[in-house]
Amino acid sequence: MWWSTGRETRATRPLWQQALLEGDIDTALALEAGQMPATLRARLTAPPPAPVIDDCAALAALLGRLEALQRYSRQAIEQVENVFGEISARSAEQLRYVGDTRAFSTTAAPAPNSCATKSAWSSRPPTASSPSSSAPWST
């Protein structure tokens, strides 16, 4: 048996138990030769737990920094949302302008090949800027 009953002397204990009782874990693991229970071996070879922060000042500073980072990230998100809102508003204005100009161009001017356009041009008297058949470059 590997456990101690308290009546054993040092000489009757296995060497790994003596090393373990003395606090020398590495020697106990080296000397156990398969006699140590698996759960004890797993506990002895497991990494130590993370240290517990017991310093209130350090914890308060850490919490303050986290709150500052949270405020900063919220401000950044608000700025991004504002930019997207401005982009959306400008896009809506541009679409409204394009829609208005398309509506104006289809209702205000007649089509270029319509009869109304031809009659309007043919009823005007020739001006100096309008082309005529007496221009010197025409043949």
pLDDT in tens, 43-83: 888 888 877 767 888 888 999 999 999 999 999 999 999 99
Q: 1 pLDDT exceeds 50?
A: no
Return the number of other C-beta atoms located less than 10 Å from residue 32's C-beta.
20
> Looking at the domain assignment, is residue 69 inside a domain?
yes
Q: 137 pLDDT exceeds 80?
A: no
Return the number of other C-beta atoms located less than 10 Å from residue 24's C-beta.
14
Q: Are 67 and 31 part of one and the same domain?
A: no
Give per-residue pLDDT as tens, 16-38.
888 889 888 888 888 877 788 88
> Looking at the domain assignment, is residue 12 inside a domain?
yes
Q: 94 pLDDT exceeds 90?
A: yes
Q: Are 27 and 62 part of one and the same domain?
A: no
Q: Are 78 and 97 part of one and the same domain?
A: yes
Q: Are 59 and 34 part of one and the same domain?
A: no
The one-letter code for the residue type at 53 is: I
Q: Are 38 and 64 part of one and the same domain?
A: no
Return the number of other C-beta atoms located less than 10 Å from residue 8's C-beta.
12
Please, are residues 16 and 31 in contact by the beta-carbon 8 Å criterion? yes
Q: Are 61 and 32 part of one and the same domain?
A: no
Q: 124 pLDDT exceeds 70?
A: no
**Chain centre distance of CA 14:** 58
Element (H, E) at 5: none
> Looking at the domain assignment, is residue 30 inside a domain?
yes
Average pLDDT over the chain, rounded to an integer: 77
* Helix ranges (DSSP H) in 1-139: 15-21, 25-31, 38-45, 56-108, 115-122
**Proportion of the chain above pLDDT 70, given as a percent:** 67
Please, are residues 59 and 53 in contact by the beta-carbon 8 Å criterion? yes
Q: In terms of residue numbers, what domain contains 4?
A: 1-47
Which among 22, 57, 20, 51 is positioned nearest to 35, based on CA atoms? 20
Residues in contact with 63: Cβ distance below 8 Å, sequence separation at least 6, in sequence order: none
Q: Are 3 and 23 part of one and the same domain?
A: yes
Q: Are 63 and 20 part of one and the same domain?
A: no
**Number of domains forming the structure of the chain:** 2
Q: Are 39 and 61 part of one and the same domain?
A: no
What average pLDDT does the segment 1-14 reach?
A: 61
